[in-house]
Chain A
Amino acid sequence: MTDDKDVLRDVWFGRIPTCFTLYQDEITEREAEPYYLLLPRISYLTLVTDKVKKHFQKVMRQEEVSEIWFEYEGTPLKWHYPIGLLFDLHASNTALPWSITVHFKNFPEKDLLHCHSKDVIEAHFMACIKEADALKHKSQVINEMQKKDHKQLWMGLQNDKFEQFWAINRKLMEYPPEDSGFRYIPFRIYQATTERPFIQKLFRPIASGGQLHTLGDLLKDACPSAITPEDGEQKTQVMIHGIEPMLETPIQWLSEHMSYPDNFLHISIIPRPTD
């Protein structure tokens, strides 16, 4: 039986084999070869694609290059969503490697946030962590930490250092001994088919009678369409980090072990493949 700590490592070290291809209308001086990379599920596109950018810029003229952006089958990919979430939501039931198209022109202003520097990614990442702690601990734990601790969370993510990250993050996963869990669970539920980008609401991990709420309880409350009736056909999959956790799993456990580094559970509801 795997130890709970092994789950933390499996989540951290998850990778997606990806093939980056330059958009055909980009103007190049030579033919652009595709670039292959193993992307960390827990990171962000603009944080881990410096090599991709350099590779394609080599075959382009300087003046043709402005802010890089990524697209999958016509859909601009939101760099501020973790890579694993983007893959689960858009491409989990397609063949590997994941084929992403790279653009340097016509930035889609209406769809994507700008990402002019690593500072923007850091600010976004830290904002998510702070919001998660507002839900879990009324911001008490994050506010008690020093700036250097905040920095260590970011550096751990940026440099892929599991131990460095978790040395601080474990404090964000604790709760007072008199409680059985966090105040509210930080989560977001995504469905590619809706205009609303995600569902997020207040949800307590412990019921008034003291029982642990499950993933199924959360879905029933926040997204009932994801849970089909017993006699009906299960038309959707509920996916976190590329797997379908059992609906009976306590949500407190999922929050502690399968959150992304931003401390949120990012849950995808996707169509079940028919084969």
Chain B
Amino acid sequence: MSGSMAGEEDFFLEEQRFKQYCEEFIKHSQQIGDGWEWRTSKDLGDGYLSKTHFQVRNRNIPPDLKEKNNDNVEQTLLTHVEEPLDDSQVPGVCATEEVIRYEYHVLYSSSYQVPVLYFRACFLDGRPLTLDEIWKSVHACYQAHLLEGPWDTITQQEHPLLGQPFFVLHPCRTNEFMSSILTGSRKQNRDTNYIILWLSTVGPVVGLNLPLSYAKLAPAQNTNADSI
């Protein structure tokens, strides 16, 4: 059992507050074009944060593109992604299966009173990635993080609003690590956006990065300076 119980109530995230932090988060995302949106379920009005992004695996870069500098390569490849890839029209570009679509959802767990990160990835032909395949795309230093991280495990679970299989970072110890992060900022009397602090900690482990400008909404914490 973790240390003192006194004051632990403060770190449980109440659902209304969750929605408020998400609203703030979305506003900033819109300002910087980071692609997050708020989705509500039709019947009960509860909602969640959602982001989809595409990533190209570098293995099949065509020889003529290698000469250009790195930024342009990614830009060029990503541009190709937006149109339907037709092998006969664009010879030598990555085959469809090398483009991966990542989807991230942030839902609220009323049972644990914390946010929960759901994610899944698939190739453009719809074939889903296994958990192993997702790991391979996570930066090596975060693979080690996972083994020591404050979460039991990553498992496949049913998305509570969509009913489809997603991978989930288990929420039952979120409160533990968030407590230590929040204590520090509370002591300095800063108003912290729980969602940004939380997502900047757990996100990178599964390939989700937050641009540094989010730090404006949540004053930087030493431990997470590297990850955002």
Contacts and interface: CB of A to CB of B under 8 A. Distances in A.
B141 interface: no
Given A110-B164, A112-B165, A127-B170, A194 B153 contact: no
Contacts of B162: 195, 197
B206 to A, nearest CB: 18
Nearest to A78: B158
Contact of A130 (B155, B161, B164, B172): B172
A127 B155 contact: yes
Contacts of B161: 196-197
Contacts of A202: 110
What are the 3 closest A-B residue pairs judged by CB atoms, nearest first? A197-B163, A131-B111, A109-B128
Interface string A117-152: 000100110010011001100010001100000000
Contacts of B156: 113-114
Interface of B: 1, 41-44, 110-112, 127-128, 153, 155-165, 170, 172
Nearest to A202: B110
B163 A131 contact: no
A80 B166 CA distance: 14
A191 to B, nearest CB: 10
Given A123-B153, A196-B41, A197-B158, A139 B172 contact: yes
A198 B153 contact: no
A135 B111 contact: yes
B163 A201 contact: no
Contacts of B112: 131, 134
Q: Is the interface of B mostly helix, strand, loop or mixed?
A: loop
B155 A196 contact: no
A201 B163 CA distance: 16
A58 B164 CA distance: 32
Contacts of A120: 155
Interface in A42-71: none
A199 interface: yes
Contacts of B153: 123
Contact of A113 (B44, B110, B111, B158): B158
Nearest to B164: A110
B160 A113 contact: no
Contacts of B155: 120, 123-124, 127
A78 B159 CA distance: 13
B137 to A, nearest CB: 18
Contact of B165 (A113, A123, A130): A113
A227 to B, nearest CB: 16
Nearest to B41: A196
Nearest to B156: A113
A133 to B, nearest CB: 10
A3 interface: no
B111 A134 contact: yes
Nearest to B170: A127
A201 B111 CA distance: 8
Interface string A170-191: 0000000000000000100000
B172 A134 contact: yes
Contacts of A6: none
A81 B2 CA distance: 32
B44 A199 contact: yes
A195 B164 CA distance: 10
Given A112-B165, A134-B172, A194 B43 contact: yes
B163 A196 contact: yes
